[in-house]
Structures are given as C-alpha cells and as structure tokens.
A and B are shown apart, each in its own frame.
Chain A
Amino acid sequence: MNKLLNVDRRIIYVILVIALAFPLIRPLGIPLLVNDSTTAVHAIIEGLDPATDVVLLSFDYGPSSAGDIHPQATAIVNHLTKRGIKWVGVAFWADGPMMADLLIADLEAQGGKYGTDFVNLGFMTGGENAIRSFAVDALVIPTDIRGNKTADLPVMQGIKDMNDFGFVFEFASGTPGYEAFIRQAVDPMGVKFAAGVVTVSVTGAMPFYNSGQLKGLLQGLRGAAEYELLIGIPGDGAAAMDASSLGHLVIVGFILVGNFAYFFSKKKK
C-alpha cells in the first residue's frame, strides 16, 4: 500500500500521456451526445438568411487556449461558409486577429473573397470599454488588419452598430469575455448573442445560458466536437474526444486507487 501511496508522479504523467496519445492514433469511436446549448447555436445559424445577415465573430483567445477554442472557431466558420453567410472578425484580445487569420488563410485558399465574404478588423484595445464602443459604433475601427478602410469594405455595408449583425458569437477564454458582451451589448441593446468558452469557464457560463442572456453555448473542446457532428464536417474536436474520455477514465482510476490505498493503509494502522 505504501508503494501505491508514494508512486512517482512521473509514472502518472507517462500513463496519462499514453492514454491520451493512443486514441489519437487509433480512434475508439466512443459515442458523443449533443448538448442542447450546442444545438441552440446550430439552430440560430441555420435560421440566418445568407442574403441579408452578416455574423460578427469575436476572436478573444490566443494560442494558450487554442486547444479548447480554435476547433470551435473552425467548426463555426465551416458552418457559415457552408451556408454562404458573410462574417466579420474582430478581437478584444491581442492574439485574436492571428487566430482569425489562420482560418482566413484556409478560406482564401478555397476561393473565399476577403472583404466580401469575410473580413478581419483586428484587435481593438480597451477591454470592456472597447466592446461598448464597438457595440454602439461598428465603424469605430478605422481600418481592417490589411489597412483597408472599414467603411469601404463590401461586407460592412449597412452595418452601423452591433445590432445590425444578424448574430454575434464570441470565442471567449477570459476577460474581457462573454460577460462583458452581455453587460455592454446584450442587455442594453438586445443583441442576439452566443459564446464558445474554454472548458474551465463552462460552470460560470451556464447560468447565463439558463437565463437566456446567452442564446447558445459551446462548451470547450466537447462543444466543438458536438458542433462538428451537427454540421457533418469532422475536425480536431471530434478527433480529440476519444482521448479526452480515456484521459478522464485514467484520472478517475487514479483517484479510486489513491483513495483505496489511503483508507486501506489507515485501517491497517
């Protein structure tokens, strides 16, 4: 029992890495159920009119949280592209434009037209104040990330404030995040808004989904996998779900073994 209580932590790391890597190489096909918060986002985008609606995507994450959020962004952008819906990218996190550019590079390679089908307005500094400023005047950002005048971009025609977007979606990984959007745009202006959050923030975001302030919610990497399932385009999210499930099983196993060893050794004493 003492051996079990004093296992070298590096052995645990190795077992965990093997448990995570194995399903990545050989997928197990563990079934995945779709949450209604994910279905709600899908239904909103399905209900948009490609001829009139433009979607605002706020890329408020960076490489540190990309593992959780970037598959969500890929899935949402794939859905918008599939439906022919135009989108505008903005960021209130400094790394956001870089993450949006990764998606834009793929879309341009597929023949998408920058400025007409999508645009990257870049980073606007100021946190929650900047969100408010952009909510009341979408042309407050003078130029996009490539130096084009925002007001002259075809995709921005007819857009004056955040309410002119058919739907607003934020990829949120911290502050400013979905709460700032709710405070500055959703509650005071009635903007139709949903968010994709990192797994760590799911518990905090659920009350806002239950209250209707968030119209939909993508819950971390799992949310991305569920969305990929709904749109029928497999991506990084679905591929990682087996690994995630097996990783959790291993951790639960460690907790059980640790507790068993602890109580058994206590009983012996």
Chain B
Amino acid sequence: MNISMDIWTWVMALCILSIMSFLYKENPVYRLAEHVFVGCTAGHFLGVAVGNIHRFGWVPLNTKGDYHLIIPLLLGVMLYARFIKGYAWVSRWPIAYIVGNGVGLSLYSNLWTSGFQQARATMINILAKRPDGTIWLGRSLNNTIIVLGLMAILAYFIFSIPQRGPVRRVSQAGRWLMMITFGVSFGNVVAGRLNLLIAQLSNLLGKWLGVI
C-alpha cells in the first residue's frame, strides 16, 4: 500500500466516498458533496460561457474589427429582456433566430443521414462474399437478420391492415426483435454504469490507496 500524499487526490477520494455514502442512506456528508458538485459545475459553466463571449465575440470585435459580431452579441443581450416587465417580447427575436437556425441546419441533414442513408444501408445482398469470391457465412447471417428483422418490425407498425394470419405472425416476430434490441440497450446501460463505478474504484484503489 502506497497512500497518496497529494492533497487533490485526497479531495477526489473524499468526494467519491461522500457521494457513494448515499448508497447506505441519505446523510449530511452526501448533501455537502452534492452541493459542492452543483456549485462547482455552475461556476465552471459560467466561466466557460463568459470566456466564450470574450474569445469568440469581444476579442475579434476589438482586435480584428469584425463588426458583424455585434449582431450575435446584441441578440445575446436581447435574451435577457424577458426579465424586464413590458419588454419580454424582445427575447422572442433571438429565440426565433436560434430555433430557425437549428431547424434549418438539421431538418434536411437529419432526413438524409438517419432516413435515406440508413434505409439505403438495409438494401443489401443477403448473400455476402469475401474478396476471394467465397461465401461469407457470418456476414450473410448478419445481412439476413438485418433485412428480415427490418421487414418484421415495419410489419408491427402497419396499422392500416388487420393484424391477422401471416401478418400477425410477422409482426409478432418484429415485436420479439424489438424486445431483444431493448434488452441489448438495457444491458449496455448496466455495463456503462459498471464501467463508471470501476473507474472510481480504480481512482480509490490506485491513485489514492496505491494498492493497484
């Protein structure tokens, strides 16, 4: 064991232990760590925001004479008009600009990226071949699952025809596939949370206590 003598490593370890103490029960040490965390985060983001206005707005405006930057700076100031009684409507202009800009930028690209491109990726040859011309069994099975799975799941969402007979069987298969997918997603959530816990245990056992 080689316990760290660095004060910041001790602060880190005590913060981790304080937050983890919530697993036992709610307590004042946990509350303290929680408030410190919220305060630090708010302070950090405020600093980053002010730094950004200075770096991307104020400095180029003053040093390079980029006077067009007055427009976004003014729009930013206008956002705060909502706190002035009688002038709250002024804040709608920058909000309209932000929303319009965001929608304009993502509407077409979203349709293309997640719609057309993804649909195109399912239009594949089920029988996959290796570069030497032999059949690639693993990839062929994967392609078959993609194509049949997509059709089964789409069948589940067809509401304009009665879900009877073969349609019902296919749509039920689609439901099973969706359940499996949700299960995989949930499994990944559990794995992700375990990884975060492992990282904190590594910090405690490695950086702080020096046993690994």
Q: Which residues of A contact B (CB under 8 A)?
A: 10, 13, 16-17, 20-21, 24-25, 64-68, 70, 94-95, 122-125, 128-129, 132, 141-143, 179, 182-184, 186-188, 198-204, 207-208, 210-213, 220-222, 236, 239-240, 243-244, 247-248, 251
Chain A proximity mask over B40-83: 1 for CB below 8 Å, otherwise 0:
00001100110010011001100010000000000000000000
Name which residue of chain B comes closest to A183, CB basis: B109
Name which residue of chain B comes closest to A27, CB basis: B212
At the interface, is chain B mostly helix, strand, loop or mixed? Answer: helix
Q: Is the CB of A142 within 8 A of B121?
A: no
| Chain B residues with a Cβ closer than 8 Å to the other chain, count | 47
Q: How far is the CA of A128 from the CA of B56 in the complex (A)?
A: 17
Q: Is the CB of B195 within 8 A of A240?
A: yes
Asked, given contacts A20-B201, A123-B48, A210-B121, whether A199 binds B195 with beta carbons under 8 Å apart, the answer is yes
Chain B 183-212 residues near chain A, CB threshold 8 A: 184-185, 188-192, 194-202, 205-206, 211-212
Q: Is the CB of A248 within 8 A of B117?
A: no
Q: Is the CB of B194 within 8 A of A128?
A: no
Name which residue of chain A comes closest to B200, CB basis: A67
Q: Is the CB of A129 within 8 A of B118?
A: no
Q: Is the CB of B23 within 8 A of A128?
A: no
The residue that B45 contacts in the complex, of A94, A187, A199, with Cβ under 8 A, is: A94
A-B contact pairs, 20 of them (CB 8 A): A21-B205, A66-B199, A67-B198, A68-B199, A70-B199, A95-B44, A123-B52, A125-B49, A142-B56, A183-B113, A187-B113, A199-B189, A199-B192, A199-B195, A204-B185, A207-B118, A211-B120, A221-B195, A240-B202, A247-B194
